[in-house]
Chains A and B, each alone.
Chain A
Amino acid sequence: MNDSQRRDVHYKPLSPPPARLKKSKTLNIIGISAGYHDAACCLIRDGVLISAAQEERFSRVKNDKSLPRRALRYCLEDGAIAIGDIDCIAYYENPTLKLGRQIWMGMQPNISDRRIDMIAGRMMSPTPQATIRSSFGYDGPIEIFEHHASHAASSFYLSGFEEAAILTVDGVGDWATTTYGFGKNAQIERFEQVDFPHSLGFFYSAITAYLGFEVNEGEYKVMGLAPYGKPLYANKLRSLIDVWPEGQYRLNMDYFAFLTQETMFSEKLCELMDHPARVPESQLDQFHMDVAKSAQLVLEQVLLEKVSYLHSRVPSENLCMAGGVALNVVANSRCLREGPFKRLFVQPAAGDAGGAVGAAAMAYVQIAGKRLEKNPLQHVYLGPRNLPSDIERLLNASNAAFLNFSGKESELIQYAIDRVQEGKVIAWSQGRMEFGPRSLGARSILADPRDPEMRDRINALVKMREAFRPFAPVVLESQAHKHFDLDHPSPFMLETCTVISDLALPAITHVDGSARVQTVNHSTNRRLSLLLEEFDRRTGCPILLNTSLNMRGDPIACTLYDVLMCFVQSQIDILVVEDFVIERAGIPTLWSLEALKYQAAKAKPGESISHSIYTLL
């Protein structure tokens, strides 16, 4: 109503009831990871992990490291609490320890002026605590936990194990790069650690960089490339790591440059390999595949040795793993298969994003004196959802041609499976977004895994990724054992196993006959389970290809707008978003202009992380 239209109302002012003070009666703990890569925020309410999301999903800056202000707002809204209802904010690493490590890096000989400037800048920068207070206006308690303690807690407290050995392995956080410990009930203890600069994560990242992939992003690619190669260079690469007794190891720093330069490896590595580093985006040849295989093998060997050592100190049947290296599903599977532990739990957001959950879990234990409820973690659908009413309103206001299946779920499933059987590729956005790096059927691209052309097709339509990288299957939990060498649920896609199916599944089977499996059931993802059941009923195949709903270089889609823009920019055939369907031909012409605007608005320097070197500072 504008001034000129305002109706002329002169009611006698009534006295509305007095305003009522609103105060949450629950124990609310916010966990935060930030400043490094994959900033994230979570809410643990009365011991239950209610919400969690990475900042990148909101800011659209891949691996966004900035303070997760949008993710915090989401968590507060989702938990229906206000800033004053937060009982504690738990921060996932110790900034003073981290600064000590950074200062030590600055004391190295031959360090560049730029890096000295950066380190000096860090010494004068506000602490994360100060930033949290000034940015969020938060004035309650802030608990600080060490980086690897957060990793350890994120795994053990969500594992469902009453006791377990705990191994954390990543690039670096504050000082530690690898830790050994154990958990029992609400207690976690660390008994040994390996300190920076010696780091298995950096070993793998250095080879990632040597192979011409982006550090902090391309490690998956090395893992995917490995099965194409032979471990011809394993001995050479093994010489980069001096494995010491107990939990210790040392990197041979002659081969690594990250301590003083803006690159991961030194020229000496090229000399050792007798081959220059691969230029990014250039041809991959057998040498690169053999190096990838060798690096993967060395990582697995060292991990196996250290897992055995850990078992010798903590003779449990259970192992919990976390840290970026724990996202190496091939190594995880080998540790479980060949190692001394019977059960393995890897927290699905095993990287730094998961540190937010670990820190919050530790704060909860400190305050409540007990572990989290709803343990083990059932699912990671902890992010925002798109409301069907909002979708309908937007589509009605547009020129898009769409189908509305509201109240007709069975018809929607039939429709989607009809299209899958026609060989169509489906963008599938349903319910709450996943927390962690994997799309697990909430923001996914789905297709027929039996189609031999499907991998190339999806790459051409949307993913634009290297042809050697496999796509993953999602399978009905009840039927998984018939098709994969898997005797337990794998809800988080964190293990590889051999494909044993009678069906030919070329689109999801890696060159070595393995697959990175996600299992689903009705309790965790009902609609996806229904979809798989229908596909199984019609074809005898309870499996679909499942990959993340994003364009290359983008974070996974979050909001309806992101989902639409991903659909418009790609060549995906069909979008199913909640109860609504848009086919490619139904996209209005001008939406492509919106997609251009969406792309142009993305670049935000300063929030993204470096991919030439692990985010050391």
Chain B
Amino acid sequence: MTLSFEDLQKGFANRLAQLASTSDGARALSMFKHSGLLVQRSIEAKGRGSALKELLGWELPDQPLDSDHIGIWRRPKNSVDFMRDIDKRQEWNYWANTPRIDGKAKRGKKRIIFLGESVARGYCYDPQFTPAKVLEVMLRSQFGPDGIEVVDLAQLGIGFQVGELALSALALEPDAAIIFSGNNWRPDQVGSMDISCADSALRQQSIPALKKLFERNLSEKTSLLIQTVGSAYEKKQIPMLWVIPEFNLRDWRDPISNAPYLPADSNSKWSFCWERAVICLQEGNISEAEELARSMIELDGGVSSAGFYLLADCNMHQKNDKASRNYLEAARDANIWSGSMCNLSPRPFSISQQIMREKAVTFEKSGILDLPRFFEEYLNGDLPDRRLFLDYCHMTSEAIQVSMAAVASHITSVITGTNLPWSNFLDQDAKPNRGVEAEAMFLAAVHNAHNCQNYELIHHYCSTALKLAPELSEVMVKFAEVQARGISVFLSTSGEELIEMPWPSVQRHLFGQHEPQLDQKLTGAITASLRTIGIDISMSLNKIRKEARSISIRPTNLLESYYISSADQPQETQWTVPGTSPYRQQDYYRAFSNKSRFFFIGDALCPTSLVLTFRLPNSLSGIIEIRVNEEYQHQIPGDCEWKTWDILLDPSAIGEGVNELTIHWPTPTYPTSAALHLAADAIQQGMPPQLYCSFGDIHSFIAEYQPGV
């Protein structure tokens, strides 16, 4: 039989496919690719345009001065002014509520453009009180009411795209520009970086080496951004001010996760040190706690925040704020490599802050406002905390005022040559009213609760809000009701009542992407705060919860995000988050520590059963322990195969309303070497690597009422 040319080619393709379908074949192909031998990957060889695209996700515009698009604004044909683009209306809420921007400033009026991210937007205060408005009020004290304008171009969530925005904003012919950004500057995900190095780092069991890759990547991105934007503005002789953001070091705590896979079976030692150090700290044995924390850092190479937090706590205990600051900054930076895996909140990493300090000032017309140093001075050496921050990075009105006063001082100096101290710019007119401040405090409570912060902090913001504006209680009550019922705010009667209340910031920030959550801690804080002003909602909330969510109505899926969001275990619950996360590693619950928390709504003493499908993927065999409301219930054997168990709970352990159920997992056998090889394979394939050891996996977990028992 004569085979056609096409048949011959197909045979070749099939043989190659068979090879590529073997694990060695696919790995060899991938290594060829990532070695650069098959594909030209060198950024230098592609020129700056490609580097921008590759690193920052945008390219240099051909004619920045003639840009017809600036953010959500578009310049219609034959017009000099910019109008809000109707095609981008879904994004409008991320920007200032400005329908039109004049193409040029009016004659004799100075124009300052103000760019940045949610911090610069005035998150939680916007639209009533924003940094740009404050700055404008302050500058007018020097330039007169018609002498200056601040164009607010800050956008919620903007990252390195702020550079592209800054270049397009040249079309507004500004007299000066301020970029208040850096909290959303993150390194790429591991799959986008130098995979050959990442592969080697993992195969050599070195997460610290992987961390260095992330730091290098962030460093390159930050440098390129500042270089690109700085040169463009320098060329036009337009002064720039880069505002280096600060972080809420004292009050913000990242949820602590276990260490990732460590070399030489160090994970068990690390866990021992951690558990022991926590106890020592609680008992006031600071020196031992400190020693154990240092051992943890030595073992993990600084890739976990846990050791740094412990050291910071030890130093705070000894009133050593300087050392505490260093450790808290190290804790903030420790997880730079695992940001997406651990759902890390926005933050300025030290590496970006340092590059801003060094690079921005290399341009004659550029300056910096170093907020970490400025706030340190403002607080007389104290650590930044809830006085200045609403959460991890968003500022209180006090911080907005003082930082904008410093900005105003700098801008006045570069435009007029007059040096005035920042305190001269503090203005009573630039303060939010009591209601706006109260709304911000309540929103801060919600935001902190949804980011696993501690009860005391959440309660602080709730009670502060009520002290400022007791009438905000009606918002809190309805919000708690909405969460208790657990249906979308727009669908429920309570939600309708809530939305009709005249609280603009609440309306802007609370409902946009609202997904109902059990919010156990937050509703607890709300309930406690309301009680102090004579309002008791505990009974009514419990009634709503039971009507809507009790297991006596229908079985409860304990893995549902509504319930599990209250566990404060973001690493464990990331897979339940609606939408598609590139780091969705598996479609089931995976425990990364020795304790997992779950919640359900029950009636006191109600007969309750569980149906649990679990396995211990890294244990040949082991025993899990189940507790309800901290009362022991069962020990169940498990191994690496999925097994399903019917479990009856002791009814006397079931309380009225929200019940907490915990699973205590046995210590796994850490398969470090094999796991990190698999992780390296995964990143070569563009898949998320598994860098943390699973203590136990749960595929399904149901709680149901058992009336017959």
Per-residue CB contact flags for chain A residues 588-617 toward chain B (1 = under 8 Å, else 0) read: 101101100100110010110000000000
Q: A393 to B615: give the CA distance in the assembly, Å.
A: 35
Interface residue count on the A side (C-beta < 8 Å): 75
Per-residue CB contact flags for chain A residues 446-470 toward chain B (1 = under 8 Å, else 0) read: 0000000000000000000000000
Partner of A137, one of B513, B642, B656: B642
Q: Does B588 contact A (CB under 8 A)?
A: yes
Q: A21 to B636: give the CA distance in the assembly, Å.
A: 10
Q: Does B283 contact A (CB under 8 A)?
A: no
Q: Does B71 contact A (CB under 8 A)?
A: no
The 3 tightest CB contacts between A and B, nearest first, are: A84-B642, A2-B524, A1-B657
Distance from B72 Cβ to chain A, minimum over Cβ atoms (Å): 15
Given contacts A14-B650, A123-B26, A393-B547, 19 further A-B contacts (CB under 8 A): A2-B521, A11-B650, A13-B650, A16-B633, A16-B649, A23-B644, A73-B587, A82-B642, A82-B644, A82-B700, A83-B642, A84-B615, A101-B10, A103-B17, A124-B30, A137-B615, A389-B554, A398-B493, A600-B90
Q: Does B613 contact A84, Cβ atoms closer than 8 Å?
A: yes
Q: A588 to B488: give the CA distance in the assembly, Å.
A: 13
Q: Does A13 contact B631, Cβ atoms closer than 8 Å?
A: yes
Partner of B645, one of A20, A72, A77, A393: A20
Once A123-B20, A124-B685, A397-B548 are accepted as A-B contacts, the answer to whether A16 and B538 lie under 8 Å apart by CB is no
CB neighbours of B587 from chain A (8 A): 69, 72-73, 135-137
Q: Does A21 contact B645, Cβ atoms closer than 8 Å?
A: yes
Once A16-B634, A20-B645 are accepted as A-B contacts, the answer to whether A11 and B21 lie under 8 Å apart by CB is no
Q: Does B410 contact A (CB under 8 A)?
A: no
CB-nearest residue of chain A to B20: A123
Once A19-B634, A590-B495 are accepted as A-B contacts, the answer to whether A397 and B487 lie under 8 Å apart by CB is yes
Q: Does A530 contact B (CB under 8 A)?
A: no
Q: What would be 27 A-B contacts, judged by CB atoms less than 8 Å apart?
A: A1-B542, A1-B657, A14-B652, A18-B634, A19-B636, A19-B647, A21-B643, A22-B646, A69-B587, A84-B615, A99-B21, A100-B10, A103-B13, A103-B16, A104-B14, A120-B39, A124-B33, A136-B586, A137-B588, A393-B547, A393-B548, A398-B487, A398-B492, A564-B491, A597-B490, A604-B579, A604-B580
Q: A604 to B538: give the CA distance in the assembly, Å.
A: 39
CB neighbours of A104 from chain B (8 A): 9-10, 12-14
Q: Does A107 contact B (CB under 8 A)?
A: yes
Q: A606 to B632: give the CA distance in the assembly, Å.
A: 45
Q: Does A501 contact B (CB under 8 A)?
A: no
Count of chain A to chain B residue pairs whose CB atoms are closer than 8 Å in the complex: 215
Q: A139 to B39: give the CA distance in the assembly, Å.
A: 36
Q: A134 to B682: give the CA distance in the assembly, Å.
A: 11
CB neighbours of B527 from chain A (8 A): 2, 4-5
CB neighbours of A124 from chain B (8 A): 20, 26, 29-30, 33, 684-686
CB neighbours of B548 from chain A (8 A): 393, 397
For window 554-610 of B, CB contacts with A under 8 Å fall at 554, 578-580, 585-588, 604
Partner of A22, one of B492, B644, B652, B659: B644
Q: Does B398 contact A (CB under 8 A)?
A: no
Q: Does A97 contact B (CB under 8 A)?
A: yes
Q: Does A127 contact B (CB under 8 A)?
A: yes
Per-residue CB contact flags for chain A residues 130-142 toward chain B (1 = under 8 Å, else 0) read: 0000111101000
For window 576-594 of A, CB contacts with B under 8 Å fall at 588, 590-591, 593-594
Q: Does A107 contact B13, Cβ atoms closer than 8 Å?
A: yes
Once A6-B655, A22-B644, A84-B642 are accepted as A-B contacts, the answer to whether A597 and B585 lie under 8 Å apart by CB is no
Q: Does B588 contact A126, Cβ atoms closer than 8 Å?
A: no
Partner of A82, one of B604, B659, B699: B699
Q: A134 to B487: give the CA distance in the assembly, Å.
A: 32
Q: Does B653 contact A (CB under 8 A)?
A: yes
Q: Does A16 contact B586, Cβ atoms closer than 8 Å?
A: no
CB neighbours of A590 from chain B (8 A): 490-491, 495-496, 499
Q: A175 to B494: give the CA distance in the assembly, Å.
A: 57
Distance from B697 Cβ to chain A, minimum over Cβ atoms (Å): 6
CB neighbours of B528 from chain A (8 A): 4
Per-residue CB contact flags for chain B residues 502-535 toward chain A (1 = under 8 Å, else 0) read: 0000000001110000001101100110000000
Per-residue CB contact flags for chain B residues 633-668 toward chain A (1 = under 8 Å, else 0) read: 110100001111111111011011111000000000
CB neighbours of A285 from chain B (8 A): none
CB neighbours of A1 from chain B (8 A): 542, 655-659
Per-residue CB contact flags for chain A residues 1-32 toward chain B (1 = under 8 Å, else 0) read: 11111110101111111111111000000000
Q: A123 to B513: give the CA distance in the assembly, Å.
A: 38
Partner of B632, one of A13, A18, A126: A13
Partner of B648, one of A12, A16, A99, A397: A16
Once A103-B17, A594-B490 are accepted as A-B contacts, the answer to whether A397 and B634 lie under 8 Å apart by CB is no
CB neighbours of A397 from chain B (8 A): 485, 487, 491-494, 548
Q: A127 to B642: give the CA distance in the assembly, Å.
A: 23
CB neighbours of B491 from chain A (8 A): 394, 397-398, 564, 588, 590-591, 594
CB neighbours of B613 from chain A (8 A): 82-84
CB neighbours of A100 from chain B (8 A): 10, 13-14, 16-18
Q: Does B415 contact A (CB under 8 A)?
A: no
For window 63-88 of A, CB contacts with B under 8 Å fall at 66, 69, 72-73, 76-77, 82-85
CB neighbours of A389 from chain B (8 A): 553-554
CB-nearest residue of chain B to A125: B685
Q: Does A594 contact B488, Cβ atoms closer than 8 Å?
A: yes
Q: Does A95 contact B (CB under 8 A)?
A: yes
Per-residue CB contact flags for chain B residues 604-627 toward chain A (1 = under 8 Å, else 0) read: 100000010101000000000000
CB neighbours of A14 from chain B (8 A): 650, 652
CB-nearest residue of chain B to A394: B487
Q: Does B636 contact A593, Cβ atoms closer than 8 Å?
A: no
CB neighbours of B287 from chain A (8 A): none
Distance from A192 Cβ to chain B, minimum over Cβ atoms (Å): 16
CB-nearest residue of chain B to A77: B700
Q: A127 to B20: give the CA distance in the assembly, Å.
A: 10
Q: Does A588 contact B633, Cβ atoms closer than 8 Å?
A: no
CB neighbours of A3 from chain B (8 A): 455, 524
Q: Does A76 contact B700, Cβ atoms closer than 8 Å?
A: yes
Q: Does B658 contact A22, Cβ atoms closer than 8 Å?
A: no
CB-nearest residue of chain B to A122: B20
Q: Does B204 contact A (CB under 8 A)?
A: no
Per-residue CB contact flags for chain B residues 677-703 toward chain A (1 = under 8 Å, else 0) read: 000000011110000000001011000
